[in-house]
Chains A and B, each alone.
Chain A
Amino acid sequence: MRDTKVTRLLGSSAVQALLVLVALVWITPLAGLLLSSLRSERDNAAGGWWTSFADPAQLSFDNYRALLADSGLVQAFWNTVLIAVPATVLVVGVAALAGYAFAWLDFPGRDGLFLVVVGLLVVPVQIGLLPVAKLFGAVGLFGTVAGVVLFHVAYGLPFGVFLLRNFFAEIPREMLEAARLDGGGEWRIFRRLVLPLGRPALASLGIFQFLWVWNDMLVALLFADGESQPLTVALQSQMRQFGSNIGVLAPGAFLSLVVPLVVFFAFQKHFVQGVMAGSVK
């Protein structure tokens, strides 16, 4: 009698309970971070964040106030913006141009070059660190925001070109031909027809790239200096004295994840698509 209504109901409430438990387990670490960020250094040293349920007086915005008064961390936050926004816009723009060229403009060597681009998809950023550091050192880009941006753009391009070329290739040929017969130049067709049609793919690429760069630590760890370092690197440098730095690290980490969370909730569909598509990377 496995499938009577009663056993099914019981089974489903067991499933419900299990899933609630899993969801709680997933939320708890983030809740811990948030609550820790609202407690003083002394409270954090004396007991866990859960004690603030019994004693809500522990919670205050003092840490955040101190954080916003720390010019170094505020600068690091702006650096993150200054790195992530251009790196995203450039990847989307450059990849869209190239994607259109690879899909519809028959320039010499196109097919061979596209295969190379696809091949470059496999290259992990680690390969680039040392050679590009030397290259940037030679031209004065090492330790600058521009250098970090360029590196991110270059390593975002194989995937971007690949994604957009495949997406643009699905634009019906008749549409493009009609536009060409109407006397539209390629630049005009690109702007008026290809970009609007490609919006879903552009959005997915943009969100994926933005998150990738915003959350990056490795690239900036090498290519940024004290002046140009983003929030991730600035916070990482405080990890050594983890126990005594929770008052800085917890609110800092929370600040750094507010922006991705906003992007996440605002563009849920594109976000999931972007992450899924980007997972070939």
Chain B
Amino acid sequence: MDRRPDTTGRPGAARDSDAARGPGTGRGPGSGRRAAGRGAADPRRRALRRRRLLGALFALPALLLLGALVAYPVVFSVLRSLFDATGDRFVGADNYTEMVRDPATLKALRNSAVWVVVAPVLLTGLGLVLAVLTERVRWATAFKLVLFLPMAVSFLAAGIVFRLAYEQDPDRGVLNAVVVGVHDAFAEPSPYPTARAREGKGLTGTPAGGYATGEVRPGSAVALPFVGVAPGAVPGDAERARVPESAPGALSGTVYLDFTPGAGGRPGAVDAREKGLPGMTVEAVRDGRAVAETRTAADGSFRLDGLAEGSYRLRVPAGNFAAGYGGVDWLGPSLVTPAVIGAYLWVWTGFSMVLIGAGLAALPRDVLEAARVDGANERQIFRRITVPLLAPVLTVVFVTLVINVMKVFDLVYVIAPGPVQEEANVLATRMWLVSFGGGNDQGLGSALSVLLLLLVVPAMVFNIRRFRKGGSR
């Protein structure tokens, strides 16, 4: 290192104490000073003493605040964690073993582990890819600005933003609106979510939610009556239901809406003004297996050909009646942690991208150019040159993220709705709930905060070392 000792940030670097001793003293026995004798040394010593006093005075406010509100609480928490909930009884390490015994706390520990593994990896990767890509566009500054913007936003505001985006109802939550839109574009929504078979007219419900007939043989024709479809919900291309006609060697029939507008219809029979239900899937089932399948025509008729002799059941499977796809339950118990991590990515990706981008800008251009000249393609350059050269920066970003992820509180607290809070808890939120949010177990709460401190320490030591090596950056 070719830096001056001062920039190492090491306390008590030689130069500091030189300066503190006062101008001139460090220079060795100068002739002029000796001649001046004690008379000149006295004021110098007095100035030195005054400077020491002033130094203590200058540092005093900071030291008092740090002592009372930071250092003392550490000692207090460590001791408090060895006592029970009310603080009356010494319990040794019981609070620490309680962490793994109490299912809710154990869950929080597990979630914290998921957070710490997933979030920093994703953020570093995302930041790296985006930093490399932004180097190729002219509007990189604007792009970085947009991605860095969420860093200015409080976690509470981010939480509200994402509670809105994650709303379950696709008519309100933008994420589910997109998901449902994409889903329905690829898989047609089921045609008749409300339909049900006319009771006692040949169709019985199957356990899976569909309907089936009794035994029928090829050559017979059956009418499959349904109700429960509002007149407006019948597809526009539906025609008058065709009266079932038998065909030799085939199973045929009609699926229709057994409802005559006005009055006069006979239940279970195809009447003149009744409509077919087009697009209904009908299966022929033999020995419990579907052997043939077709869809009803506009008049509700269907015909299954090429069946071997024997007896079959006709089945109208549950898929016809599935409720409309409602999107993803983002904030439900199983997805709430990934959902909150998603919100966290939104906040922190800009940070990781800007930091990595700065590292990228400092890479030696000639190395990259030389590789290009040698015929390396972009992917090779990225994997063999950019990433290895960036490794120190990537490590810094990763470690910094680990520290911050470990302490995540607000986002989880705000986004996870009350009923699933337990599923979403991490160390910091669990500590809060245990200590203040009704749990009122200050022993366990203190133990959790001490654990948090212990988990953060290694990463912090790494960061401080780097910071001191690099001066103030």
User: B177 within 8 Å of A by Cβ?
Assistant: yes
User: Does A224 count as interface, using CB distance less than 8 angstroms?
Assistant: no
Give B13's nearest chain A residue, CB to CB.
A169
* Pairwise interchain contact A201-B153, C-beta atoms closer than 8 A: no
At the interface, yes or no: B186 with Cβ under 8 Å from chain A?
A: no
Among A150, A215, A272, point to the contact of B354 (Cβ < 8 A). Answer: A272
For residues 81 through 117 of chain A, which have their beta carbon under 8 Å from a beta carbon of chain B? 94-95, 97-98, 100-108, 110-111, 113-117
A258 to chain B, nearest CB (A): 10
The 8 A CB mask of B374-406 against A (1 = contact, 0 = none) is 000110000000000000000000001001100
Give the CA-CA distance A277 to B171 in the complex, in Å: 42
A95 x B6 contact (CB < 8 A): no
In angstroms, how far is the closest chain A Cβ from the Cβ of B156?
A: 4
A150 to B68, CA, bound (A): 11
Shortest CB–CB separation between residue A265 and chain B, in angstroms? 9
B152 CB contacts on chain A under 8 angstroms: 211, 257, 260-261, 263-264, 271
Task: Identify which of A106, A161, A254 contacts B21 (C-beta below 8 A).
Answer: A106
Partner pick for A169 among B9, B55, B164, B436, CB 8 A cutoff: B9
- Name which residue of chain B comes closest to A261, CB basis: B152
Q: Which one, B12, B58, B154, contacts A101 given CB within 8 A?
A: B58
Q: Is the CB of B351 within 8 A of A114?
A: no
Q: Is the CB of A122 within 8 A of B457?
A: yes
Closest B residue to A100 using CB positions: B58
Question: How many residues of A are counted as interface, with CB atoms below 8 angstroms from the partner's CB atoms?
Answer: 118
Say yes or no: is B442 at the interface (Cβ < 8 Å to chain A): yes
Docked Cα-Cα span, A239 to B163, in Å, equals: 10
Assembled-state Cα–Cα distance A153/B177 (Å): 44
User: Which chain A residues lie closer than 8 Å to B116 at the CB level?
Assistant: none
Tell which of B156, B355, B450 touches A215, judged by Cβ atoms closer than 8 Å. Answer: B156
A60 part of interface (Cβ distance < 8 Å): no
CB of A244 closer than 8 Å to a CB of B? no
Nearest B residue to A160 by beta-carbon distance? B62
> Are B9 and A166 in contact, with the CB atoms below 8 A?
yes
Chain A residues with CB under 8 A of B208: none
A213 to chain B: closest CB distance in Å? 10
**Main SS class of interface, A:** helix
Q: How far is the CB of B410 from chain A (nearest CB, A)?
A: 5
In the complex, whether A61 has a CB less than 8 A from a CB of chain B is no
State A187–B153 Cα separation when bound (angstroms). Answer: 38
Give the complex CA separation of A249 and B156 in angstroms. Answer: 10
Q: Mark A162-200, 1 if CB is under 8 A from B, else 0.
A: 110111011001001100110000110010000000000
Q: What A residues does B56 contact at CB under 8 A?
A: 101, 107-108
Inside 8 A of A15's CB, which chain B residues have their CB?
A: 133, 136-137
Tell me the residues in window 54-101 of chain B with beta carbons closer than 8 Å to chain A beta carbons: 54-59, 61-63, 65-66, 68-74, 76-77, 80
Which residues of the other chain, A, contact B252 by a CB distance below 8 angstroms? none
Measured in the bound complex, the distance between the Cα atoms of B161 and A239 in whole Å is 12
Selected contact of B431 from candidates A18, A106, A126, A279, CB within 8 Å: A126
A-contacting 9-mer, from B243-251, B287-295, B306-314, B460-468: B460-468
Which of B22, B147, B157, B456 is the one whose CB lies under 8 Å from A124?
B456
| Known contacts A32-B164, A100-B58, A236-B156; is-contact A217 B435 (Cβ 8 Å) | no
Chain A residues positioned under 8 Å from B174 (CB to CB): 28-29, 32, 48-50
Contact at B154–A26, with CB atoms within 8 Å? no
B 21-58 contacts with A by CB, 8 A:
21-23, 51-58
Distance A158 CA – B63 CA, assembled complex (angstroms): 10
Please tell me if the beta carbons of B417 and A176 are within 8 angstroms of each other in the complex.
Answer: no
| B154:A94 contact, CB within 8 angstroms | no
CB 8 Å contact bits of A214-233 with B (1 = contact, 0 = none)? 11111000100000000010
Whether, in the assembled complex, B365 has its beta carbon less than 8 Å from a beta carbon of chain A, the answer is no
Q: Contacts A201-B472, A263-B152 given: A48-B58 contact, CB under 8 Å? A: no
Quick check: A173 and B161 within 8 Å, CB to CB? Answer: no
Q: If A170-B6, A236-B414 touch, does A126 touch B471 (CB 8 Å cutoff)?
A: no
The answer to the question of B172 belonging to the interface, with a C-beta cut-off of 8 Å to chain A, is yes
Q: Which chain A residues numbered 1 to 38 have a C-beta less than 8 Å away from chain B?
A: 2-3, 11-12, 15-16, 18-19, 22-23, 26-30, 32-33, 36
Would you call B150 an interface residue if the criterion is a C-beta within 8 Å of the partner chain's C-beta atoms?
yes
CB distance from B424 to the nearest CB of A (A): 14
Instruction: Given contact pairs A123-B73, A155-B70, A232-B154, enumerate 4 new A-B contacts (beta carbons under 8 Å).
Output: A49-B174, A97-B58, A100-B58, A170-B472
A-B contact pairs, 9 of them (CB 8 A): A94-B65, A102-B11, A123-B70, A127-B73, A157-B70, A166-B7, A169-B7, A216-B154, A236-B414
